[in-house]
């Protein structure tokens, strides 16, 4: 790899300040169209680049990595999740993978709380009613939602984002319950007054709101299966700002249609950007276009992390945000 100006290929448009900085530091090829690369374009990029900067919309699997050129030594993912990259296959080929952890925590937690409020208080339904011109004025029984104060919030995945959600939720008077691979430190539990559930099934049966904040891995694919979703009580709502693959979307859609669940707020989808048409028809669902981390500050912070990872790697050091394969 060229020590000073490696060839860096970026698959999507990034904030202008980040693109300008990349152009200063590296030999950089940008995607001016901001359209996802076709499979052919992505294969050409991976054959040519010394550093590839992909996003969640790029599927970097073992089959694609088999076409990687000998110069490719770093995949600096623009995003926290790396479920779009076969990290094990990259490692076997001597390719380092990095991500951008931490910088999206507060933004995603904000969006999670926004969705909890929007679904519980029927904000989108009310907005649609006003825009339709059919609103006839205030009524004691019109647009009744549910208060948050005193409800039980179940957090699936008490990592950075789950913890940030819990801190916000405490301010709304929600009781915090959580399921995680490992129990968090007792000091954090005490701060949040959080109840740990070793059994996800038992937690689901006792909460009013479920927030999905765990990453998508082979172990979490359809973690919220049809069986588990049925453990939620009919008045419960589900909010997902993590990854759509964690939830069995077909089962969720059926339950929402049958009013076996009160509502859902979804920022991510199992087959995005494709969304089940039946899901789009439901009035008790708030649907967002994967915008949980979409703040100017967050996108710039992500880009700065990518640059630091590339620069550190080029200088011959271990990048700060290296993602290790599951085999290690």
Establish whether 272 is a catalytic residue. Answer: yes
With a CB cutoff of 8 Å and minimum separation 6, the contacts of 44 are none
Question: 128-163: b or e for each residue (b if 16 or more CB lie within 10 Å)?
Answer: eeeeeeeeeeeeeeeeebbebeebbbbbbbbbbbbb
Backbone angles phi, psi at 27, to 5 degrees: -80, 105
Percent of the chain as helix, strand, coil, to the nearest 5: 35, 15, 50
Give me the catalytic one of 222, 272, 304, 322. 272
Q: Between vectors from CA 148 to CA 185 and to CA 156, what angle results, nearest 5°?
A: 40
Give me the catalytic one of 12, 21, 228, 243. 243
Collapsing DSSP to helix, strand or coil, 145 comes out as coil
Q: DSSP letter string over 17-35?
A: HHHHHHHHHSEEE--TT-P
Establish whether 198 is a catalytic residue. Answer: no
Give the DSSP H or E segment for 183: none
With a CB cutoff of 8 Å and minimum separation 6, the contacts of 201 are 228, 231
Give me the catalytic one of 43, 222, 290, 322. 290
Establish whether 290 is a catalytic residue. Answer: yes
In Å, what is the CA distance from 147 to each residue of 51, 127, 305?
A: 49, 18, 39
Total Cβ atoms within 10 A of residue 12: 18
Catalogue the active-site residues. Answer: 243, 272, 290
């Amino acid at each position: 790899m060229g020590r000073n100006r490696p060839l860096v290929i970026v698959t999507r448009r990034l904030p202008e300040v980040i693109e300008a900085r990349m152009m200063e530091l590296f030999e950089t090829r940008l995607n001016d169209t901001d359209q996802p690369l076709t499979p052919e374009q992505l294969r050409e990029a991976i054959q040519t680049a010394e550093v590839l900067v992909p996003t969640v919309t790029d599927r970097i699997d073992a089959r694609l990595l088999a076409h990687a050129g000998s110069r490719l030594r770093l995949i600096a993912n623009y995003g926290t999740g790396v479920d779009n990259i076969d990290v094990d296959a990259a490692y076997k080929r001597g390719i380092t993978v990095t991500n951008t952890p931490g910088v999206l925590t507060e933004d995603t937690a904000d969006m999670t709380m926004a969705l909890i409020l929007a679904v519980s208080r029927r904000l989108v339904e009310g907005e649609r009613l006003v825009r339709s011109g059919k609103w006839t004025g205030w009524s004691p029984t019109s647009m009744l939602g549910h208060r948050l104060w005193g409800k039980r919030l179940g957090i699936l995945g008490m990592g950075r984002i789950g913890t940030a959600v819990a801190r916000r939720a405490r301010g709304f008077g929600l009781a915090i319950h959580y399921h995680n691979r490992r129990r968090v430190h007792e000091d954090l539990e005490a701060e949040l007054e959080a109840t740990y559930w070793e059994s996800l099934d038992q937690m689901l049966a006792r909460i009013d709101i479920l927030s999905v904040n765990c990453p998508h891995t082979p172990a979490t694919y359809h973690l919220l299966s049809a069986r588990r979703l049925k453990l939620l009580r009919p008045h419960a709502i589900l909010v997902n700002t993590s990854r759509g693959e964690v939830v069995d979307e077909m089962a969720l859609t059926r339950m929402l249609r049958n009013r076996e669940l009160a509502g859902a707020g979804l920022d991510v989808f199992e087959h995005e950007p494709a969304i089940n048409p039946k899901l789009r028809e439901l009035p008790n669902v708030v649907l967002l276009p994967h915008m949980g981390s979409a703040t100017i500050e967050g996108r710039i912070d992500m880009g700065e992390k990518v640059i630091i990872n590339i620069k550190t790697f080029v200088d011959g050091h271990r990048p700060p945000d290296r993602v290790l394969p599951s085999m290690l």
